[in-house]
Amino acid sequence: MKFDLLSILALIFSLQAVVSLTPLHFQHPLDPLTKQEFLEVQTIIRNKYPISNNKLAFHYIGLDDPEKDIVLKYETQSTHVTIPRKSFVIAIIHRKIHEIVIDLRLRSIVSDSVYKGYGFPILSADEQSLAIELPFKYPPFIASVYKRGLNLSEVLCSSFTIGWFGEEKNRRTVSINCFMKESTVNFYARPISGITIVADLDLMKIVEYHDRDIEAVPTAENTEYQVSKQSPPFGPKQHSLISHQPQGPGFQINGHSVSWANWKFHIGFDVRAGIVISLASVYDLDKHKYRRVLYKGYISELFVPYQDPTEEFYFKTFFDSGEFGFGLSTVSLIPNRDCPPHAQFIDTYIHSADGTPILLKNAICVFEQYGNIMWRHTEVDIPNEFIEESRTEVNLIVRTIATVGNYDSVMDWEFKASGSIKPAIALSGMIEIKGTNIKHTDEIKEDIHGKLVSANCIGIYHDHFYIYYLDFDIDGTHNSLEKTSLKTVRITDGSSKRKSYWTTETQTAKTESDAKITVGLAPAELVVVNPNIKTAVGNEVGYRLIPAIPAHPLLTEDDYPQIRGAFTNYNVWVTPYNRTEKWAGGLYVDHSRGDDTLAVWTKQNREIENKDIVMWHVVGIHHVPAQEDFPIMPLLSTSFELRPTNFFERNPVLKTLSPRDVAWPGCSN
């Protein structure tokens, strides 16, 4: 075959075009927004609204979820499926909240509407930074500092959301609390008590100020946590461990798609939700195919109500995801500390208030965890034989950490070769401290709403309620929830020497009301099944929820914070899949009134049997602070498990081999 010069040039240009399109062609439809896409959003909206930055602020820029059926078609078809790539934006423009959808491929605005309901979007870091500087130019505050004999140059302030307590007004305000940073970076341990400051974020000015009582500011003694500032003795001594994988990691990361052992899934990221796990599928060795388990999972909201009803604390009932953004609050992971030496890291982007993309290095880490037992048995009852059989468990961990103010939330998604998924939460950081003149418990004469954890320091009682969004797609989109109760049966007919036993009774939830479940009141199993697919012996394939230690809200249902956090009224909820129902606390959480929550949606009592359904699971911790939590607390953790139940025909890791032993110089078994 002969080519003339024009044909060769045409071929070169066509190849260049293919190369330039390759990143777009291989971009997964659920990938988080790229740097270039953030810039496109910023440019498009600025072009439509060419105004100064103080009149245009971006409070949420995220992926506008593609239609689920199109994504599934993309996953299952070998031919290319074109999926629209869109962004959903919440921006405040001239003090009006705009909801804007942008087509990123066409570089155009699809829709632009003004929100007129209650509540406000996520606070931006930029406006909070401006607000916490306001007290230093406010004469009454300066006078309060000097009245207490404090050094103004050693004062530091932080902003706190206020919530809603029946007010008719609808203003974007925050409370500003101040602390002493003198002699320690642990300023949360040194609050300046007795002062109330409220700032209007739109006006950027202090609109309310009270100075009531002077309480002692806790000292800086023994509050420093930086190792460089600490002095011996150190302990307990921990020995070094060398991490070595001679065959390399057992997982592969291609963009945001991960394959490991018998799992494959996608890792997304959102400035509100943080990490998002999608399209989790497990390989069935008997059926020789991947079977989908979870279409999407993430933490939809975190509700942290403090239990001090006094003027200084009553409003501290935070919704970390909806008010501050788990994604915007995600921090870079520290190699060899937050994640082991053999971990691999994934970077991502968040955005500033002016829409500029910000690179977040090491936002997510992925690593294998060794040393557990997968299964084992020792057999001694066979004559002349002694059998020992054990398999080493290797799990895959996907980790990210969000720091919202004083607390750090370590969030793991653990995948097991047995088919289980274990989401876990671990808390560290600083407990919320209230200053007091009390130095010993003998001095306590009334309810202090917490524990005296150090002289002049009260650790306030509070809760942590995480609600997970779990869109199960077990072997397909049509699933049901089955509740299997364990019932005691008395034997009264003399047919056995036993007087009782227990058996099971299974009910299928038909509507949303049937699926509102409080865990722990009676023994029961909750299983999401596919009623259309059965095992060889006739059981419906499914996945069981093994819940964490249950925690239930103790606030009354008519209390304003609980109205907003009504999604914690039950440990388990099930709704029919709705692309717009993503946030259990509502789309606009700051100053919200509880009119757009999971508890409100489910009043429709929609059908959920043999439908595309979403499970919502509340994981809670009632935190009674202790002295060991001060000045910085060791990890406090909880987790739950999504475990295959009649999903496989038999133990899926029966033939899984343990990792081979590796000889290492200087080591002996």
Peptide bond into 631 cis (omega under 30): yes
- Whole-number Å distance between alpha carbons of 604 and 616: 16
Identify whether the C-beta of residue 191 lies closer than 8 Å to the C-beta of residue 313.
Answer: no
Q: Taking CA 511 as the corner, what is the angle to CA 413 and CA 538, rounded to the nearest 5 degrees?
A: 70
Identify whether the C-beta of residue 468 lies closer than 8 Å to the C-beta of residue 619.
Answer: yes
Q: And the tokens for 232?
A: 């011996």
- Whole-number Å distance between alpha carbons of 437 and 442: 12
- Whole-number Å distance between alpha carbons of 119 and 593: 7
Q: Taking CA 584 as the corner, what is the angle to CA 583 and CA 586, rounded to the nearest 5 degrees?
A: 65
Q: Count of CB atoms within 10 A of residue 211's CB?
A: 16
| CA-to-CA separations, 26 to 22, 157, 201, in angstroms, rounded | 6, 46, 42
Backbone angles phi, psi at 234, to 5 degrees: -105, 150
Q: Which of 64, 270, 320, 612 is catalytic?
A: 320
Please report where in the chains the tokens 């997982």 appear, as a residue.
251
Amino acid at 370: Y
577 is known as an active-site residue: no
| Per-position DSSP letters for 421-462, written without gaps between them | EEEEEEEEE---EEE-S--SGGG--S--SEEEEETTEEEE-E
Q: Which of 60, 74, 407, 469 is catalytic?
A: 407
Cβ within 8 Å of residue 266, ≥6 positions away:
28, 30, 256, 257, 258, 277, 278, 279
| Closest-CA residue to 123 (of 159, 150, 147) | 159
Q: Taking CA 278 as the corner, what is the angle to CA 477 and CA 639, rounded to the nearest 5 degrees?
A: 100
- Whole-number Å distance between alpha carbons of 419 and 358: 36
- Whole-number Å distance between alpha carbons of 236 and 207: 50
| Closest-CA residue to 432 (of 161, 622, 190) | 190
320 is known as an active-site residue: yes
- Whole-number Å distance between alpha carbons of 405 and 432: 10
Identify whether the C-beta of residue 322 lies closer than 8 Å to the C-beta of residue 272.
Answer: yes
- Whole-number Å distance between alpha carbons of 370 and 392: 8
Decide: residue 219, CB within 10 A, 0-12 exposed, 13-18 middle, 19+ buried. Answer: middle
- Whole-number Å distance between alpha carbons of 430 and 158: 14
Q: And the tokens for 455?
A: 């002289």
C-alpha 74, offset from chain centre: 27
| Per-position DSSP letters for 561-579, written without gaps between them | HHHHTGGGSSSEEEEE--T
Peptide bond into 236 cis (omega under 30): yes
Q: And the tokens for 43?
A: 């440019």
Q: And the tokens for 183?
A: 């002699």
Q: Catalogue the active-site residues.
A: 320, 407
